Amino acid sequence: MSPEAQQFLGTFVPESFYYWASVFMLLIHAGFLAYEGGASRTKNVLATMVKNLLTLASVGLAFFFFGWWVYNAFPLFPVAGGILGPWTNAADEALKAMMVYVDASYPWSPALAPNTSDHMTGVFFFAFALFAMTTASILSGALIERVKIGAYLIMSIVLGSFTWVVAAAWGWNAFGWMFTKLGYHDFGCAGVVHGVSGFFTLGVLLNLGPRIGKYDRNGKPRPILPHNLPLTMVGLMLIFVGFYAFLAACMIYLPGYEKETTIYGTPMTLASIGVSTTLALAAGLVGAYVSSKGDPFFTISGGLAGIIATGAGMDIYHPALVIVLAFIAASLMPKVIVAIENMGIDDAVGAVGVHGFCGLFGAIAVGIFAAGFPQGETVPSINFFGQLIGGLICTVLLGFIPGYITSWILKKFNMLRVSREDEVKGLDLAEMEVEGYPEYAHPLFVVKMSGNDEEAAEAEMYSSSPRLELE
């Protein structure tokens, strides 16, 4: 084989790897679309799915215009340096190396255009854009049936193209100060993706409020059942497939590299990802099944909980440890979701429990079970303090607080939640002006709402597609 051919293969193989890993990550979003559509009631199914579809558009465009730059420009801010940009004086070699990536992240950069001299920047942008869309899709499901689509898209951009990106710049970047100063290790983005998204969602839910009829007059939660539970289960199966690709894309394999590494420069293999992901999925399903006494929704959510809870240390965990941690986290997850529900917080798909709780669990677990693992001469070894602080920064500083503030502002301007009339009628008719199941959309009853509409709210719970006359 000629040197030219060897050079070509050395570039083509990693380029193809990231391209196809990103393509398969799209299954995550096909899964979320099915999952959330199935979890909604018939009167909201189209609005729910369209909202999820628009996530790809809002976050994809925003990530191109500024999100990709944030990841490359914020690693040092505010602890080790400022925000990197044209104003930066790259005096030392480290800054020069970082500025190469910053210059390639502007939307006008030739690195993102058809460029035969740069095969990797574009596929890395592709992969990160899919990561970003995942964060917003996590938010999407929890808010179904009552959020205004414009408000959701604003929040999806804040989360998907800024807050989680800052978390990634700090804790999932070879130059990030959470890694270089604290030793934070989060291979599978337990904290920087799932923790941020789950707690951002919690902040939004506090301002959004529960769906009409979710709680009775005594504040006791009522079940609002998915209109198509099998569809939600199919959706989660697609998400499982996509997460194999998600975790594979967390590996670094570049032209000229002699071996695979993590983003932190520590060695790893694709084989270990396959083994650990499979075991985490299996143990999570079992844990949730046992804990929830066979509840189908909790059981299949347990598979995702197991993967998230072990993702941060999946590159270094022994398979036996993966099984134990996935089982524990998935066993606790249903109890967390029920506790949140009993607190008056209506999380329609359990995003706070599955992603927020399990993401924080996963980040902290690395500090307990992988403490002392070396990460280079100039970087602290993995330690409990670094994982705890890093996990709290992700979940509280970059998750809950931005989610609460953004949704609070939208609420103050009456932009957050749909009107009571639209919510009762259903968002398919109110926003889409078409029913998802027109041949089956027959009212079971008609209720006239007067001064006290508690009876109407209760009755609405038991209709798949009610038509209420409002007075």
421 domain residue, yes or no: no
Torsion sign over Cα 17, 20, 22, 28? negative
Same domain? For 37 and 122 the reply is yes
Average pLDDT, integer, range 264-273 = 90
Q: What is the mean pLDDT of the chain?
A: 92
Q: Are 130 and 247 in contact (CB under 8 A)?
A: no
Q: Indicate the helix (H) or strand (E) that contains 28.
A: helix 3-39
317 domain residue, yes or no: no
Radius of gyration, alpha carbons of the chain: 23
Encode pLDDT of 415-428 as tens digits: 999 999 999 999 99
The pLDDT confidence band at residue 447, using thresholds 50, 70 and 90, is very low
Same domain? For 205 and 145 the reply is yes
Supply 307's token pair: 């993967």
Residue 434's φ and ψ, nearest 5 degrees, are -155, 145
DSSP assignment of 92-152 equals SHHHHHHHHHHHTSSTT-GGGSS-TT-SSHHHHHHHHHHHHHHHHHHHHHHTTTTB-HHHH
The pLDDT confidence band at residue 273, using thresholds 50, 70 and 90, is very high
21 domain residue, yes or no: yes
Strand ranges (E), 197-312: none
Q: Which of 209-218, 364-373, 440-449 has the lowest mean pLDDT?
A: 440-449
Q: Give me the number of domains the chain comprises.
A: 2
Residue in this structure with the two tokens 């930066």, named with its chain if needed: 88
335 domain residue, yes or no: no
48 domain residue, yes or no: yes
Same domain? For 458 and 386 the reply is no
Same domain? For 35 and 118 the reply is yes
Encode pLDDT of 22-56 as tens digits: 999 999 999 999 999 999 999 999 999 999 999 99
pLDDT score of 465: 43
CATH of the domain at 198: 1.10.3430
Nearest to 370 by CA among 288, 275, 262: 262
- Our measurement of the distance from residue 460's CA atom to the centroid of its chain's CA atoms, rounded to an integer in Å, reads 31
Encode pLDDT of 89-113 as tens digits: 888 888 999 999 999 999 999 999 9
Rounded Cα distance between 393 and 397, Å, is 5
For residue 157, give its domain range: 10-270+378-412
DSSP letter (8 states) at residue 221 = B
- The span from the first CA to the last CA of the chain, in angstroms, equals 80
Same domain? For 386 and 471 the reply is no
Rounded Cα distance between 440 and 438, Å, is 5
pLDDT score of 470: 40
pLDDT score of 441: 53
336 domain residue, yes or no: no
pLDDT score of 258: 80
Indicate if the pLDDT at residue 229 is higher than 80: yes
| Predicted structure pTM score | 0.93
Encode pLDDT of 344-388 as tens digits: 999 999 999 999 999 999 999 999 999 999 998 899 999 999 999
pLDDT score of 187: 97
